[in-house]
Amino acid sequence: MLELILNQKLIFGLMGGLGLFLFGMKIMSEGLQKIAGSRMRKILSALTNNRIVGTLVGIAVTAMIQSSSATTVMVVGFVNAGLMSLVQSIGIILGANIGTTVTAQLIAFKITKYALPAIGIGAGFKLFTKNKKWSYFGEILLGFGLLFFGLSVMKQAFDPLKTSDEFRQLFMIVGDNHLVGVMIGAILTMIVQSSSATIGITIALATSGILSFDASVALILGENIGTTITANLAAIGTNLAARRTAFAHFLFNSLGVCYMLLFFPFFLSFISSMTPGDADFVIQTQDQVARMGGELGDKPFIARHIANTHTMFNIVNTIIFLPLVGLLAKISTLVIRGSDEDIEFHLKYLDNRVLSTPPIALAQARSETRRMAKIAGEMVDETLLFLQDNDLKKIPGLEKKEDLTDVLQKEITDFLVKLSQKSITQESSQEVASMMNMVNDLERVGDHCENLWTLNQRKLDQKITFSDIAMNEISEISKLTREFLATIIQALEDKNTGIFDEAHRLEDGIDDLEERLRNNHVKRLNTGECTVNSGLIFIDMLHNFEKIGDHTYNFAKAVVGIK
């Protein structure tokens, strides 16, 4: 048995075949996402609270992009962005579980012989066409071919196992102890991070005559648990609702496997009754090879049985849990406890895994930019409060928010640069440039807030006091500055591009006020009403308020698309 495990053909074939399969899945999924990206956004934006509609959306999107992992990652991102509720997300993921079974159905067709032509034609379209749609079609075809070629390589690699009694006995244990099979399937899927890949391995083992139908079904059930790890990994660092969405995915797949194990014989009989041929029929003569294809020892009907098992498990599971979506949401809320009231000092919406779907990535960048604008607005508000009440306890919170705006500027800009290198429309390219300008100006607003609270700290340390007139003037310019930024942030939220005239008026108002207050200060300085030290801090404060107005005006131009 050890010699078989160390067999070069087996090791190299499994490594290379699995690598080709995974790479093919990735290329095919990315090509499908590029073609279907705008459609996905429209479909998801049309969501209602109807759980059946949500499930149909999950099926449609996953069938289009052929990756339940991509769908669940997107859903977690949407929940995190507040674009979708926990209940809506559960319905979509139930649908995604059904949509992903299309891959297994495709694998079950005997089209391996078309793998090499698909690779050749797909590579031709990818490398030599200048038309983006044909290039994406080439990616899909290339990925499709690599997927099936990898499957063929894995199947051939398993040939030495056919003659091994030890391996047959090992897989008989899996067939006799279904719980062991579930565990193996779950662990294998967690490792390779693709249920389609583990289903491919299962079909390769089964069609080679190594796995029985019983053992294959146990592995398939385990794979449905293992695939939920992707959503849970995607939810790390997100808000409570997103983590609850990921847990709900794990919950209903795990519960589904539990009741399927209880009714295991009935489930197998149901699949066998609806699928032509005997799942465990083995090709034993050359005549059967000629009629059915394959090789001696192969099981020609088992692939379709496995594919139907995968599909029916998810359909039955969805039918059972769809009426219980609210209950699943409540259980997830009870298990994943906590409060989202405190500000989270990290990225909330950006996920590099969706960069291959530009419309989704652009929506995430918008959400993160809106969040940054709100934080900048809060920083201005809290800075103005500190100028009034001189409460030094506010400084740590202000410093955290300023650090966060620095992080957001860097991360959003990096994300947008990566997005700009993808195949995006001219309109999307302009929006990317506008958002880059927005985050830069918002970060500068944060810098000037820091200057203001540092100046006020210096004023307190040096025991400098402003006259009542000076305090009223600082209050006057601070209110106008605050009004200006709040107006533009609201325009960003409302997608109001007709705000420019108002922005121009407010910016001119801040400039005029700053000049008038500066002149007033000079007069007070000449009459001795104001000291030099207090005057320097006062002038610096006016300058920073004027600069916040300038950057807010630049921000407004980006909002309306002028810059």
The parent domain of residue 118 ranges over 2-335
Clarify whether residues 419 and 554 are in a common domain: yes
Tell me the CA distances in angstroms from 464 to 95, 329, 448, one per residue in order.
Answer: 66, 57, 21
CB 235 within 8 A of CB 246: yes
Contacts 24+ apart (CB under 8 A), 136-139: 136/31, 136/34, 136/35, 137/31, 137/35, 138/31, 139/27, 139/28, 139/30, 139/31, 139/34
Clarify whether residues 270 and 192 are in a common domain: yes
Clarify whether residues 331 and 357 are in a common domain: no
CB 452 within 8 A of CB 524: no
Quickly state the pLDDT bin for 2 (edges 50, 70, 90).
very low
Task: Specify the pLDDT at position 169.
Answer: 66
For 496, counting Cβ atoms within 10 Å of its Cβ (0-12 exposed, 13-18 middle, 19+ buried), the class is: middle
Task: Specify the pLDDT at position 487.
Answer: 92
Clarify whether residues 320 and 397 are in a common domain: no
Task: Specify the pLDDT at position 476.
Answer: 92
Closest CA to 125 of 27, 36, 37, 38: 27
- pLDDT tens profile 440-468: 999 999 999 999 999 999 988 888 888 88
Helix, strand, coil tally for the chain in percent (to 5): 80, 0, 20
CATH number at residue 474: 1.20.58.220
The more confident residue out of 491 and 31 is 491
In the predicted model, is pLDDT for residue 41 greater than 60? no
In the predicted model, is pLDDT for residue 62 greater than 80? no
- Two structure tokens written together for 450: 């820091």
Percent share of the chain, pLDDT over 90:
16
Q: Which residues contact 29 (CB under 8 A, 6 or more apart)?
A: 65, 66, 67, 70, 143
DSSP secondary structure of 76-100: HHHHHTTSS-HHHHHHHHHHHHHHT
Clarify whether residues 75 and 224 are in a common domain: yes
In the predicted model, is pLDDT for residue 423 greater than 60? yes
- Total number of domains constituting the chain: 2
- Two structure tokens written together for 362: 């652009």
Clarify whether residues 489 and 546 are in a common domain: yes
15-19, 237-241, 391-395: segment of lowest average pLDDT: 237-241
- Is residue 17 assigned to a domain? yes
- Two structure tokens written together for 113: 């012989």
Pairwise CA distance, residues 563 & 552, whole Å: 13
Tell me the CA distances in angstroms from 402 to 366, 385, 415, one per residue in order.
Answer: 20, 16, 20
Clarify whether residues 110 and 171 are in a common domain: yes
- Return the CA Rg of the chain: 31
Pairwise CA distance, residues 102 & 68, whole Å: 10
CB neighbourhood size of 479 (10 A): 11
CB 486 within 8 A of CB 502: no
Choose one of 335, 369, 398: the last residue of a domain.
335
Closest CA to 212 of 262, 174, 269: 174
Task: Specify the pLDDT at position 168.
Answer: 61
Q: For the residues 348-370, what does the mean pLDDT come to?
A: 80
Torsion angle, alpha carbons of 302, 305, 307, 311, to 10: -170
Quickly state the pLDDT bin for 292 (edges 50, 70, 90).
low
- pLDDT tens profile 237-268: 666 777 888 888 888 889 999 999 899 889 98
Clarify whether residues 393 and 260 are in a common domain: no
In the predicted model, is pLDDT for residue 146 greater than 70? yes
In the predicted model, is pLDDT for residue 15 greater than 80? yes
Q: Is 301 helix (H, G, I), strand (E, B) or coil?
A: coil
Pairwise CA distance, residues 115 & 552, whole Å: 57
Pairwise CA distance, residues 139 & 511, whole Å: 55
Residue carrying the six token digits 């894995």: 154
Highest mean pLDDT of the ranges 3-7, 47-51, 333-337: 333-337
Q: Which residues contact 347 (CB under 8 A, 6 or more apart)?
A: 237, 368, 407, 408, 411
- Is residue 342 assigned to a domain? no
Choose one of 335, 366, 388: the last residue of a domain.
335
Percent share of the chain, pLDDT over 70:
82
pTM of the predicted model, to two decimals? Answer: 0.59
Clarify whether residues 320 and 376 are in a common domain: no
Quickly state the pLDDT bin for 481 (edges 50, 70, 90).
very high
Closest CA to 221 of 193, 244, 198: 198
Amino acid type, 327: L
- Is residue 426 assigned to a domain? yes
Amino acid type, 522: V
Clarify whether residues 284 and 380 are in a common domain: no
Residues in the chain, total:
563
Pairwise CA distance, residues 35 & 37, whole Å: 6
Clarify whether residues 144 and 250 are in a common domain: yes
Q: Which residues contact 251 (CB under 8 A, 6 or more apart)?
A: 328, 331, 332
Task: Specify the pLDDT at position 230.
Answer: 64
Pairwise CA distance, residues 426 & 441, whole Å: 23
Clarify whether residues 253 and 364 are in a common domain: no
Quickly state the pLDDT bin for 54 (edges 50, 70, 90).
confident
Measured at the CA of 101, the angle between CA 96 and CA 102, to 5 degrees, comes to: 105
- pLDDT tens profile 209-233: 778 888 888 888 988 888 887 667 7
- Is residue 116 assigned to a domain? yes
Query: What is the overall mean pLDDT for the chain?
Result: 81
In the Cβ-directed half-sphere of 261, how many Cα atoms lie within 13 Å? Answer: 22
- Is residue 343 assigned to a domain? no
In the predicted model, is pLDDT for residue 342 greater than 70? no
Q: Which residues contact 344 (CB under 8 A, 6 or more apart)?
A: 239
Task: Specify the pLDDT at position 343.
Answer: 43
Type and span of the H or E element at 287? helix 286-292
228-232, 279-283, 543-547: segment of lowest average pLDDT: 228-232
In the predicted model, is pLDDT for residue 1 greater than 50? no
Type and span of the H or E element at 346? none
DSSP secondary structure of 172-212: HHHHH-HHHHHHHHHHHHHHHT-HHHHHHHHHHHHHTT-S-
- Is residue 346 assigned to a domain? no
In the predicted model, is pLDDT for residue 25 greater than 80? no
The more confident residue out of 64 and 535 is 535
Choose one of 303, 335, 367: the last residue of a domain.
335
Task: Specify the pLDDT at position 338.
Answer: 63
In the predicted model, is pLDDT for residue 45 greater than 70? no
Task: Specify the pLDDT at position 380.
Answer: 92
For 271, counting Cβ atoms within 10 Å of its Cβ (0-12 exposed, 13-18 middle, 19+ buried), the class is: buried
**Cα(first)–Cα(last) distance of the chain, in Å?**
69
Tell me the CA distances in angstroms from 230 to 20, 34, 104, one per residue in order.
Answer: 21, 21, 19
In the predicted model, is pLDDT for residue 291 greater than 70? no
Task: Specify the pLDDT at position 486.
Answer: 92
- pLDDT tens profile 169-213: 666 666 668 888 888 888 888 777 677 778 888 888 888 777 888
Question: Where are the strands (E) in 246-373, listed by range?
Answer: none
- Is residue 113 assigned to a domain? yes
- Is residue 308 assigned to a domain? yes
